[in-house]
Amino acid sequence: MRIGDAARRAGATVKAVRYYEALGLVTPARLANGYRDYDEHDVRVIREIRDLNGLGIAVEHTRPFLDCLAAGRPHADDCPASLAGYRAAIDDLTRRIDALAARRAALAARLHEAAHRDSCAPDPQEHPGPTTTEGDAMHDITRLPAGLPVPEDDGACDTLPGQALPPLELPDTDGRSVRLDALGPGRTVIYVYPLTGRPGTDLPEGWNAIPGARGCTPEACGFRDHHQELTAAGAARVYGLSGQDTAYQREVVERLRLPFAVLSDPALRLADELRLPTFEAGGQRLFTRLTLVVLDGRVEHVFYPVFPPDRHAEQVLDWLHHRPLREGAPAGGEVPVPGTGSAVR
């Protein structure tokens, strides 16, 4: 048969067959006119070379297998030399895999270093004094870029004060289950946020253009930095709450060194129960940023909209300072700010 027919029957290309011939692996007979004449044995040899090369054995290293066929063995790997060829190929692949794994580990380490560089605002308890942060604020998740759109109060939370929290049990990053209608005595501050940025992971497209979306990391760092002051001002407990799963949130808690737990509500059940505002981004339904102050199982106060998020913990702290908890004070009522005659909302 002609070279094209042999290549087609063996599942190879004519160019590959010519290469095999140049290496002396395929030696077809010659007709009287000098044309090559391939037979069934040649087709089998071509197919064997192709299959072995597909397994990672270099074409040049298939000769022991072809010699085994030439010796009349029914299979190309029936000979000791063929088995040695397998072992040599496995050893070569192992070396290459090890080298690739080492390169992959080095790349992963560089990615982690680059992604986490400036990815966490410094904890003033560990790094007192002025600090400088390098990098572009547009891509640094610890900072707020200039010119972010300011969210407007659309009245979506006007009816929340006085409402009872639903009997929802949500997992937290400490491995516990927290029931929202049984938080315990004293005030609880729950800051609800859409999505904390994660080093090496892109935020949803158009994130900075959504009013109130950007700033979850600076907000979390603010509650971290003011946590002791918040508790001293009457917050018995502080929680973050978002729709991300607990594993995602735990990475954030550990990286930002948050001294409080974060609650996970992937189904946004709290939003459905209390009719909290939400928005869509990147194909996800997310909480709109707001903060609940809970007392005796009811919403005492709601901060909405929240802006700027990096200063929000200070706003909550100021509210607590002006609203010292008095025994018997009803949840949801407005108490005049001392010396002003006006109510803090």
Give the chain's radius of gyration (CA, Å). 34
DSSP β-bridge partners for residue 192 = 241, 290
Contact in structure between 193 and 287 (CB atoms under 8 Å): yes
Model pTM score: 0.62
Mean pLDDT by groups of 10 residues along the chain of 345 residues: 94 95 93 91 95 94 94 93 94 93 87 59 50 48 88 96 97 97 96 87 86 94 96 97 96 94 98 97 96 97 97 97 76 42 36
Fold for 163-322, please state it.
Glutaredoxin (3.40.30)
- Provide φ and ψ at 284, rounded to 5°: -115, 145
**Rounded Cα gap, residues 315 and 322, in angstroms:** 11
Q: Which helix (H) or strand (E) holds 236?
A: strand 235-242
pLDDT (0 to 100) of residue 337: 39
pLDDT (0 to 100) of residue 109: 79
Domain 3-88 and domain 163-322 have a common topology:
no
pLDDT (0 to 100) of residue 198: 77
Beta strand 177-179 with 284-287: parallel, antiparallel or unpaired? unpaired
- Domains of the chain by residue range: 3-88, 163-322
**Rounded Cα gap, residues 154 and 168, in angstroms:** 26
pLDDT (0 to 100) of residue 110: 80
> Which region, left, alpha or beta, applies to residue 279 given φ > 0 means left and ψ of -120 to 50 means alpha?
beta
End-to-end CA distance of the chain: 92
pLDDT (0 to 100) of residue 141: 75
Fold for 3-88, please state it.
Multidrug-efflux Transporter Regulator; Chain: A; Domain 2 (1.10.1660)
pLDDT (0 to 100) of residue 140: 66
pLDDT (0 to 100) of residue 335: 43
